[in-house]
Chain A
């Protein structure tokens, strides 16, 4: 059971995350897109310099798909901001866990926080329903290979586009809804409903269908083997097996075992909800 102190800490952590997600909106999404504007100022002849500043210019999906498409490599080299999802974000994930997913990605946070309005009894638990890791990396492999059989889903099955449309809507711009495609509608429905508000934690899309999340999860999984990198870590001696961390983890990365809990670093986004919510301080974020 959680204590008043840990409950307050968890609430503070969530509020801090909401704050960071708004920073994510300001950094990546039109009408703000400050990071894209900065890239446009630094590299005026690149896409960030000539194109509209919105989430598509700093897309964290397309460059991953381009990696397996040699005909797109010139575009990668011409646009330094394309290296964000290939080098910068996985690099951060390797060293400190996928902090972008847990703290800065509004497209991941939106269904997570929206899902808090739906009682848990209406939700299913992905962790107990399906083996998440093979699903996630299988989908990622398909994402990388699909362009070879002309069936890329990179842009057509994208939740970031819908998040941009939602942000634009609040800014009074409805143009994102002027044309709707079947794939786009399917992606929006899957992102928000079955893999959003009806999934415990609200992060079903992140766990299974997000290529950027998979790339960062892979980097984080690799980094866990290296002793000097920070991760959320469990101390089984202090654990009372109360189940708070298992319940509160949006990514379903905490698994109960006989001697406490284990954290799947391929899934954990270092959001710290478990660390904040643990009443016995059995979880911490740091080096081993």
Chain B
């Protein structure tokens, strides 16, 4: 009986460990990686945000949340990435990715087989409702610049056939959460 109780207790402790790890991972991730979803064609808050349940119309990374391992080993590279860049329109699109006002060295990547890294085009039609993935790594100079907002730009999705701008998702990388919100350091 006592053995069974301690086994249950250990099991609950391990489950709690997962929650704790997840909570820690989530909090430090806000300073290391801007995970997002993005819709196209879309405007306003429908453009995207950190998750499907949090369509804020922008993505932000505040470096003060960065975890200690990252701070020690690789503080100058952050990633902005999405598994869900979804066609919410009613016809297929062939899309191209661009950035606007992001003036640090960056590298695009996608897991889609039709991804052309040279032109940043997904060279196939993305059907209505279908999602693709994309990400970009931003490399800041070392040591990090001291200005409060390091990046205030956007990811832009363009119809590769017509050149039409389908969706613009603002990206903010700042030193602190307050700077992301525009509430300090002006």
Q: Which residues of A contact B (CB under 8 A)?
A: 49-52, 54, 56-57, 71, 130-131, 133-139, 141-143, 145-146, 149-153, 156-157, 175, 178-183, 185-186, 208
- Asked if B11 and A183 make an inter-chain contact with CB atoms under 8 angstroms apart, the answer reads no
Query: Does A153 lie within 8 Å of B29, measured CB to CB?
Result: no
Interface presence of B104 (CB below 8 A): no
* A183–B15 touching, CB < 8 Å: no
In Å, the complex CA distance between A208 and B107 comes to 36
Residue contacts A-B, CB under 8 angstroms, 20 given: A50-B132, A51-B111, A52-B111, A56-B111, A57-B111, A130-B10, A135-B10, A135-B14, A138-B10, A142-B15, A142-B16, A145-B18, A145-B19, A151-B22, A178-B137, A180-B70, A182-B29, A182-B69, A182-B70, A183-B25
User: Cα distance A130–B68 when bound, in Å?
Assistant: 28
Q: Are B25 and A185 touching (Cβ within 8 A)?
A: no
Number of B interface residues in the complex (CB < 8 A): 44
Docked CA distance A54–B19 (Å): 28
Verify A181–B29 contact, CB threshold 8 A.
yes
In angstroms, how far is the closest chain B Cβ from the Cβ of A46? 11
Say whether A149 contacts B11, CB under 8 Å. no
Taking CB atoms, residues of chain A closer than 8 Å to B17 are 139, 142
Binds A, one of B40-48, B71-79, B87-95, B156-164: B71-79
Looking at chain A's contact residues, is the secondary structure mostly helix, strand, loop, or mixed? helix
How far apart are the CA atoms of A134 and B7 in the complex, in Å?
5
* Most chain B beta-carbon neighbours within 10 Å: one of A57, A130, A175, A182: A182
Q: A181-B29, A182-B32 are in contact. Are A143 and B68 (CB under 8 A)?
A: no
When distances are taken between beta carbons in the complex, the residues of chain A under 8 Å from B12 are 138
